[in-house]
Amino acid sequence: MPNWFGMRLLKPRTIRGQLMSGLILFEILVLAIVSVVLIREQRKELQTRTDRRLEYQASLLAIQGSAAMEDGEYGTLDRIVRATTDAPSIRSVQITDLQGLTLVSSNPAMKGKLTLSPRERRYLRELDKPVIFSIDSRTREAVAPVRVGGAVKALVWINPDDTTDRIQLRKLLTVTLLSAIFGVMGCTVFASLMARSIAKPIGVLMRATRQLIRNSEDTSSFPLAVTSANEAADLTTAFNLMVASIQEQRAGLNDTLALLDSMLANAPIGFAFFDRRLRFVRVNQLMANMNDLSIGRHLGRTVHEVFSGHAAELVAESIEYVFEHGRTVENLELFSEAGSEPGGGRTWLTNVYPVRTGADNVRWAGMILVETTERRRAEDALRRTEKLAAAGRLAASIAHEVNNPLEAVTNLLYLIRQAPLDDVSAGYVDLAAHELARVSEITQQTLRFYRQSTLPAMVNVSELVDSVLRLHQARMAALQVEVCRHYVPDVQLFCFAGELRQLFTNLIGNAIDAMTPNGGRLLLRVRYARSLIHPDQSGVRVTIADTGTGMTKEIQRHIFEPFFTTKEATGTGLGLWVSMEIIEKHSGTIRMRSQARTDNGATAGTVFSVFFPSVQELAQV
């Protein structure tokens, strides 16, 4: 029984008991600390006052003794000592010589004796001023020098009487203890009242909660009345809100299910769920649109009735695997060849995963379907570009091999010219040399175009543009394209010549395509200029303009995007994208204006203006 009672005191089970016991313990601890600090400080202050009083009394007695000894009136010393001893704060006084022999003492029996303790004998040496020291842990003593004619002749010893100080300290301790007792009692009463105000609403809340636990449908006790403004009131309010929220959740369960259905139906990816017989049990609208069937025509039908061919087999195998092993099948690619399904030539990426209703029970198999047709087309375009690049490298290799025998034939024609020929033969030789020069120039241009430089160098921009024009010369002649050149002589630029040749080939080739099949005029301008964005930056501006069909505003917004093309089967959509990377690599900028051709006969065409700053360092990419 005592142990149980002690545990109840140390660990009360109610908020009221916990608050009271905690507050009482806290008050006792605080009052104990304050009492210890207060008593210690009071002791220190009493000791300081005692030391000052001793120092003053010792100094005064030393001065009086010095005057009496200087006049030879030793009887006066006895009167001074007795008068000093009459003070309530002094227990005993004595005057000794420098060897410790008592000259005058408040106790006449001590006169002429050596009464100093070993600790007091330490102060028999010459002193300059009064000294206060401790004889033991409770007793202090003062010693002061008595000077006669400027020399120390004797020592004054004063032992204080601290009875009054101890009585005063005892009274202070008594007052402190009484204050602590009244403080603890007052805090106990205050804690009891406060705990009652806190515990009462919590008790009401507990009873109502137990009623709700017994019957979750019985909410008649709520909302509870809030009668205070503390944390208990906040807790009661929170319980009221929680019960109201539960009621709202029950009432809105159908709305939540409808919302989930709406989210599933309008998700940007396809969702489907299957049972163990491979039948559709749920499908969203996007999945239905992918299969070009309504949602109703999916439900209850098997995978083979919706999908066809190899795609149906893959989906069926994946669903069976999920039901058998309980693991997800990821990144399964489905294909539909043109004509095999509506919207043929499409691809999808799908994941099939288990839908569990228990730890090991797979209830359904879910499928997430994402169409990747556009991504596949982009990859195909990239592969076509790689093939074109490989074909270009092969063409360069062939041009290199063709160039070797061309040089031999050129030398043979030179030797034939040295022999005597008639006019007809000489004419044929000149014609052969001319045509052979054309073939040699074409091979050289092909080699120059595909032989990329690894380091930038100073290049004549006009000659670079003309080398690109010679590659398109035959095509421009067939289309009757008029070429207008406006070159400033000897325009030099520090650049990667091969990459700029590729850039100008893309722009000039696009201009010629825009003028097919009716021809037109191609304007080329090369000159020194300043940047329109940074006027203090000088460089080279190359302008390529055509009188072709032009572009609409919508096309202009996308021409620099990868894989965007208006040339249908013949275009890859990478030309202007690569051209923009080349321009950025050279820290350049490009401006474009275009006017699409309309039925009213207005002027159409496109102008590309490329600016390259004059720099001596370029990034190696």
- Residue 378 to residue 400: CA distance in whole angstroms: 33
Q: What is the DSSP string of 419-435?
A: S---HHHHHHHHHHHHH
Please, what is the angle between helix 575-585 and helix 497-514, to 10°? 140
Q: How many CA atoms lie within 13 A of 612 on its CB side?
A: 27
Cα–Cα distances in Å, from 482 out to 474, 547, 550?
12, 10, 17
- Residue 563 to residue 571: CA distance in whole angstroms: 9
Residue 137: which pLDDT band, with cuts at 50, 70 and 90?
Answer: low
Q: Is 605 helix (H, G, I), strand (E, B) or coil?
A: strand
- 597 pLDDT exceeds 90? no
Q: What is the pTM of this model?
A: 0.38
* Least confident segment among 281-290, 347-356, 480-489: 281-290
Q: Is 408 helix (H, G, I), strand (E, B) or coil?
A: helix
Handedness of CA 13, 18, 21, 22 (dihedral sign): positive
- Residue 356 to residue 538: CA distance in whole angstroms: 69
- 3 pLDDT exceeds 60? no
Q: Mean pLDDT over residues 320-330, rounded?
A: 87
SS (H, E, C) 255-276: HHHHHHHHHHHCCCCEEEEECC
Most confident of the ranges 26-40, 52-66, 233-247, 480-494: 480-494
Percent of the chain topping pLDDT 90? 9
In order of their start, the domains of the chain are 16-167 (3.30.450.20), 266-371 (3.30.450.20), 373-451 (1.10.287), 456-613 (3.30.565.10)
Amino acid at 118: P
Residue partners of 177: CB distance under 8 A and separation at least 6: 35
How confident is the model over 104-131, as pLDDT tens digits? Answer: 877 777 777 777 777 777 777 667 778 8
How confident is the model over 563-573, as pLDDT tens digits? Answer: 777 776 666 66
